Homo-oligomer: A and B are copies of this chain.
Amino acid sequence: MTIGPIAFAGSGLDRADQIRADADRLAALMDWRARLLMLDGLDPVFDVDGALAWGSLADADPDAELVFLGLAQNKACFAAVSPTLLGSVAPANPRLWAAMSSLGHEELATYGTARSLIDWHARHRYCARCGNPTMLAKGGWQRNCTNEVCKAEHFPRVDPVTIMLVEHDGRLLLGRQPRFPPRRLSTLAGFVEPGESIEEAVAREVLEEAGVSVGKVSYVGSQPWPFPSSLMIGCHAEALDDALTIDRTELEEADWFSRDEVAAAMRGDDDARFIAPPPQAIAHHLLKWWLAR
């Protein structure tokens, strides 16, 4: 059993990577027919039908860098890295969540891809190796150092994160990060570090955050998460016991929840023990998957 369609995955764009490296073809696509994803800072802009708004390249700031997102119905789609965005880190905000809930999967995925790429360009103006300025290359899927001695190539980051259903005796371990809204609980999660497999990252995170050792770890599903550019890797882990030692720097609280308690929260019952994660999050789909199997 796998998780169903999930927010930020399933873009209808053809990434057409063969065009990225072909400077002539790319230049030929950057004409009046090209479409520009309209953005307000890093937030989406909607047309009269509530869909993502698209303009033409003429709508971009003349000093903006242009990122080639791909082809849609044979039209080249771009996003602009405006000078006003440079250096900024814009976290997701309530207004953005409300706006995004009106978009379908395909559009959310296109927006998420653009958001991750623009954010990366805005925060990677200099070469990490030598400190000199970098310039956009390959349609925005690379930045190159402008220092002729260095010439380092840099690629957009994708940060793998494990997020896990930890189960013991039919109950699920859920926790609360300090930044969560009131009463919200979710599955534990953490970045994969250099030198560990997905399964090892799951085991380490659960031990670090909750003091629980796990045995078998199974993969469930994945999701791109554009804040700023994570790859969420959803897993199921069998806990070896249920004694908790909570790391209070990571979690405000954590506890075990029965199937009925999780079902009540997912239904949004008034007397549920907690508020479930929102439908855009893979945690929501992991809970649904767990209840259904």
The residues of A with any CB-CB pair to B shorter than 8 Å are 6, 8-11, 15, 17-18, 87, 109-110, 112-114, 116-117, 120, 123-134, 141, 150, 152, 154-160, 191-200, 204, 208, 219, 221-224, 226, 229, 231, 233, 247
Contacts and interface: CB of A to CB of B under 8 A. Distances in A.
Contacts of A198: 222, 231, 233
A194 B126 contact: no
A226 B9 CA distance: 28
Given A10-B200, A126-B128, A127-B126, A195 B116 contact: yes
> How often does this chain occur in the complex, in copies?
2
Contacts of A194: 113, 116-117, 120, 156-158, 224, 226, 229
Nearest to A224: B195
A197 B219 contact: no
Given A194-B116, A198-B222, A224-B195, A131 B133 contact: yes
A154 B124 CA distance: 11
Contact of A193 (B128, B156, B192, B219): B156
A130 B195 contact: no
Given A87-B130, A195-B224, A197-B224, A158 B160 contact: yes
